[in-house]
Amino acid sequence: MPAEFTTQRGHQVGKAPTQDHLLVFYLPDRDEWEASCARMLAAGFQRVPSYNPYWDMHGRTFEDLDGYRVVLQNAAWTM
């Protein structure tokens, strides 16, 4: 699951529209999920309670300095 977060030095961006605008990654493997959560913290994201408690049941929500949120969900994606 390659992904990339980018920045531009000297460029200010606005805050996220709301606390419920999310980028969600589904990671069904528990070890992969735990390792990914640790990498989010190491990258400088803050762990925060989710605005919608649904995401806290099987996932963790992280927020960057601009208020954008990423959820790492320890579950498979289903429709």
Q: Is residue 12 part of a domain?
A: no
Q: How many domains does the chain have?
A: 1
Segment 17-68, tens digit of pLDDT: 788 889 999 999 999 999 999 999 999 999 999 999 999 999 999 998 888 8
Which CATH number fits the domain that encloses residue 41?
3.10.180.10
The predicted pLDDT at position 18 comes to: 87
pLDDT at 1 over 70: no
pLDDT at 4: 67
Report yes or no on 40 lying in a domain. Answer: yes
User: Is 60 a domain residue?
Assistant: yes
* Global pTM value: 0.80
- Domain assignment of residue 4, yes or no: no
* pLDDT at residue number 5: 62
**What is 29-51 written as a DSSP string?**
SHHHHHHHHHHHHHTTPEEE--S
**Could you tell me where the DSSP H helices lie in 1-79?**
30-42, 54-58
Structural domain boundaries, residue 45: 22-73
What is the spatial distance between Cα 72 and Cα 55, in angstroms, rounded to a whole number? 9
| CA triple 65-45-74, angle to 5 deg | 135
14 in a structural domain: no
